A = this chain, B = another copy of it.
Amino acid sequence: MVFGDGQAILAGNAMLTLAFDVLLSHGEAGVRALPCLTEAVHQLISGQSDDLAFEGSAAVDLAACLHMEAGKTGALLACSAAIGAAAVRGRDQLVNALWRFGAELGMAFQLVDDILGITGDPVITGKSSSSDVRAGKRSAPVVAALTSGTNAGRRLAALLGDGRPDSEEEVRLATELISEAGGLDWAAREADRRLGAALAALEDASLPSAPLHDLVTLARYVVERDH
């Protein structure tokens, strides 16, 4: 904001390149880790590109929305979970299992984030209540509500149109309709399902009990957090 868009874009490019430098400075281990990073960057870019393409589009379906979130959040946690094992020449089965663990956990994280963006307590989250609803964001619970085939979903579609609620009264009504159409329940169930898939992937990793316990604790926290 202070230095302008151009300098901000350059700073982003510099930090991306520095991430490669950091890995290169760690010899063979860093080189083995590099493909994890480039794969994650490509998926992040793809997800962000989808997100931009969806802006102002009323016809986003749930599959497209989840694919976008898999790129934007799933890939980041997948890379974070797998890159250490890749660096120390872990077996393919271990690296792949940790990648799937992170990818599924990232989806669970994002779905919980989406719910908190609609229902979260502003004192705890630091965002205003219904902040995503106010911004007209088509997060997964909103898309689930819009495509639910329910009366509430149709009323929500009519209310939002291609844009965002026009007043605080409309924000409150939209938040109620997302809930009534089942969008929040769907997202909570999907987050639980993704957590289950993440924990199943951990079993395939055949980890010793101490790191297994830490990762399970981390995974459960991600889904149960309120901020």
Q: Which residues of A contact B (CB under 8 A)?
A: 4-7, 9-10, 12-14, 16-18, 20-21, 24, 31, 34-35, 38, 41-42, 45, 48-49, 52-53
A193 to chain B, nearest CB (A): 30
Q: Which residues of B are found within 8 Å of A24, using beta-carbon distances?
A: 31, 34-35, 38
Question: Measured between alpha carbons, how far is A38 from B14 in the docked complex, in Å?
Answer: 9
Identify A41's interface contact among B17, B42, B49, CB under 8 A. B17
Q: Which residues of B are found within 8 Å of A41, using beta-carbon distances?
A: 13-14, 17
Identify A20's interface contact among B10, B20, B53, CB under 8 A. B20
- Ordered nearest first, which 3 A-B pairs have the shortest CB separation? A6-B52, A17-B41, A14-B45
Q: Which residues of B are found within 8 Å of A21, using beta-carbon distances?
A: 35, 38
Q: How many copies does the complex hold?
A: 2
Evaluate contact between A17 and B38: CB separation under 8 angstroms. yes
A49 to chain B, nearest CB (A): 5
Mostly, the A contact residues are: helix
Q: Which residues of B are found within 8 Å of A52, using beta-carbon distances?
A: 4, 6-7, 10
CB-defined A-B contacts under 8 Å, sample of 24: A5-B5, A7-B49, A7-B52, A7-B53, A10-B48, A12-B13, A13-B16, A13-B45, A14-B41, A14-B42, A16-B16, A16-B17, A17-B38, A17-B41, A17-B42, A20-B20, A20-B38, A21-B35, A21-B38, A24-B31, A24-B34, A24-B35, A24-B38, A31-B31
Q: Which residues of B are found within 8 Å of A5, using beta-carbon distances?
A: 5
